[in-house]
Every structure is written in C-alpha cells, then in structure tokens.
Structure 1
Amino acid sequence: MDMKQAGSSLDSLISSFNTRIAELQELVIARNMYPASSVTDLKAVDAALKAMELQVQAIKDRLREETLAIPKAKKLIEASLRQQKKLQSMSVHVPERTTFSNSEINNRSILPEASNQLPSFGPLKPEEPVATHKEKKGRSPPPLWYITAAELDSLSSYMRGRLTLDKVNAAINDMAAYADSNFQLITAPKKKLAENLWEKALFPRELLHDKELRDIAMTESIKGKHFFLETDIKGPSLKLDNTGKAILTVLRHLGRISETRIGHHRVIILSKPQT
C-alpha cells in the first residue's frame, strides 16, 4: 500500500466517523424531549472525535516519514555492499602475514636497547662454564630489610633521638649498596675486567687490596653473607657522624646488622631480622 492509498483509507475512516457521529447526534435529539440538556453529551463526543482525528493525523505523518526514509536506506545498503566487495577483493591480494604481534614488537624494540646498554668487557667466550643453581642462589642481591614505624617507636627515647623512619631506611639502602659493591669486586676476576675499570673499582679503598677483601669474605663468620667495611661508609645518607653512629646503634639493636672485627677492619654484616 503506497502513501496515497493509505491517506485515502484514513480519509474514508474519518468520514465514516463523522457520519456516525452525526447520526448519533440526530438520535439523541430525537429521543430527548429537551434538546438543551443534550448539549454537554454532544460536546464530549465531539472532543473525543477531535482527539481521534489528531491521532490519525499523527499516524499519517509517521507513515510519510517512513516512506521518505526507505530510499535513503536502500542507498546505504547498496554502498555497504559495494564496500564489502572492495574489501573482499583486497583481502585476496594481501600477504598472509604483514603485521607482528605486540609481544614481537616489544621484543624487537627491547633487544637492541639492551644490547646497547651492555658493558663492553670484550667478546664472550662460549667455553665459559655455566653457573650452577647454587652459584645463582648465592649471587642474589643484598637484602633490604627496612624497619617499620612500630619498631622505631618501640625504642627508648634516648636511643631513638631525632632519627626518623626515612633516615634509617635510607641508610639501609646505602648499606645494601656498599655490600653489593664488595660482592662485585669479590666475584669478578681481575683478568676479565679492563685495567682501567679495575682501578676505578678499587679507587674508594686505596689502602685495601683485593686479596685482603677476598680473605675477609672467606672467613667462617663472613662466608656466604653480605657485608661491608666501616671504611666503606661515605654517604650519601649514612655517614660516620653522630647521626650515622646512632643509626648503626639502632639497626644493631633491631637485628638488622651485626659487627665483627677481622684484623684492623671493622666488618658490618647485614642480618635478617628475627621474627
């Protein structure tokens, strides 16, 4: 049914309603001996009829809008079909794999950067023995056993003094760095380092020969533990001043460090806190 047919059908429907209302009006007037009293009823019927006419008009407007939208929808469908055919023809000529996954892209971008950052200590020798599981386990970085606010508050006021949690934990970071530096010197053979790098590594301890440091590491009380010497304490957070000595006293009391003397050196060992 096209628009004209729908409109003519609605017009005929409205015309039949009008005819029916007119007949009802005539019947009411004929039956009522007092026509003046039937005016209210007729007004109500007339209002209902007008409301129906408005609804019918709204339906006609909606049908007109839908009819006008049909050609636009057809054009959109045709354009979509043409685009689909183009994409299908393009997919036939595209190679099977032209893109990389996210993990491959990350690996390709990370590997060159990592290779540029590696120190150039000479070519690697394939005949070097691979480290065993025990060696890898022993080469773990120095632990960072920070103290908590509750531990600091548990100390007496004269021992705590003006120390803060941040100062003490910053000193723990320094101690771990000292221990790691000693560990690197002990485990790295001198012949595998360039001569200038070895001299720079030994610069902070001119008076301590590498053999002497190795001997300290091999003693029974030190072997297998992370340690540093009192002469290593040079900041930035931990220094051999009154504050630094107070921090060492607090950490010794809380079980984070222990001390021993080997020869003329005061050795400070990183200890695991007792739970």
Structure 2
Amino acid sequence: MEAKQAGASLDALIATFNTRVAELQELVIARNMYPGSSIADLSAVDTSLKAMELQVQAIKDRLRDETEAIPKAKKLIEASLRQKKKLQSLSIHVPSLALEKVTMLNADTSSWCGLHDAGNQHPGVGNMKLEEEPVAIPKEKKGRAPPPLWYISADELDSLASYMRGRLTLEKVNAAINDMAAYAEANAQLILAPKRKVGENLWEKALELRDIAMTEGIKGKHFFLESDIKGPNLKLDNTGKAILTVLRHLARISEIRSGHNRVIILLKPH
C-alpha cells in the first residue's frame, strides 16, 4: 500500500516538473519572438545614431574653425584695402603705365576712324588742297602728346561730400577717365587726318571738330563732345552725369560751349 502511494507521488512530481518545463519553454518562446529581425533593427538604429553623432561633431568642428578664422579674414581684408589705396595713388605717378594705355587707345581709335598711319602721312602745306586740309590746322608733330590720363585717388574721392560722391567708386570714375581719353584721341586723329583717310560719314564731323579746335580756350588742348559719350564706362545717364560733376570738381575736366556743342576739355596735372 505504501509502495503504491510512493509511486503515485513520484508520478505527480514528474508531471509537475514536466508542466513547469513546458511553461518555461512557452515563456522563452514569447520573450524571443522574432529575435533575428529585432536584433537587426536595433543594430541599424544604433549605426544611424552613431553616424549622426559623427556628422554633428564634424559640423561643430567646422563652425569652430570658421569662427576662429573670421578675425584673421577681417585683418587680411583691411590690409588688402590699404594696399589697394597705396597702389592706386602710386599709379598716378607712373607715366609708363599711362603711356601703355594710351597706345592701346590709339590703336582702337585708329581702327574706328578708318585711319592708317595718319600721323606720318600729312602732306606739306604747299601740296595741300583746300578741300582736304583746312589751312588753319597745323601738321601733326612727331611724338604728339597723348590725351592726359589723370586718374583720381581714393583720398580725393573720400574728400568729396557724400551727396556728390553718392554711390560712385574709384574704379568707375577712373574707368570713365579712360573712356574720355579714348574720345579725345579719336577726335585728335580725326582732326589731323586728310580727307582721303576719312570716311564720308565722318568728314562733316571732322570739319566741325577742326573749327572747334581753333576756338579760343580750346586750341591746343585735348577735348571731346558731349555727343561722343557712348560708353563703355561713361554714359549719358545719372551715373555718368555724377562722374562728370566729380571730375569737374576735382579739376580733371573743364567745359565750354562752342556753337551748339558742349565741349569737355581734359586738363593736365598741375
């Protein structure tokens, strides 16, 4: 009787153990449901977070470098502006540079007027026909002086009242001076050229310029007409008018009326 009871107790204990094992298996399965995909997803999230942290750190490092470079850049800009002003002031006193520019202007204006070697082909007065060469116009001398290229300096521009200076820059004003020298050089060549070297469309203007060139106050000076102003840098717009006002004030040009023409004379350095 006791043996039967012991056997029953052992069977119950085995059954209980087996039941507990089954429960543990179910819990493990529930806890580890889809373990492969979960681990992969978590790994991907971790990798993305690390990449973002690296990018944020790189941005912080770049911002720090740029912030440290700003004072150096400001000092470099200030030094460059000071050097630029010095070079612009020095350029006024370097005649070789001005001569080179005028040589280029001579080539351009000669092509525009259709003139070729006009300076070396003027006939003598005795062989000159009245319809070709007005007697009052003197022969061109070898080594004729080019139009003056008297640039302004940064200090001169800064010395002007703000209402006169407006938004003009040193580069704009000096570029306009280059244009004015080109106009004056074109007129000088047109005045001295014989008729056979001047196109029909320019002959009437050549005669008009020769009359103007003999006017008191203009004779012997380089000049151009208001109607000659056609750019590329100097134009008859508000900016161009402001530039002419500034140059009159700084004694680079003077103006005079000759008939219906407004004549602008280029002045030489004192």
Normalised TM-score (structure 2): 0.48
TM-score by length of 1: 0.47
More relative contact order, 1 or 2 (CA 8 Å, 6+ apart) = 2
Structure whose alpha-carbon radius of gyration is higher: 1
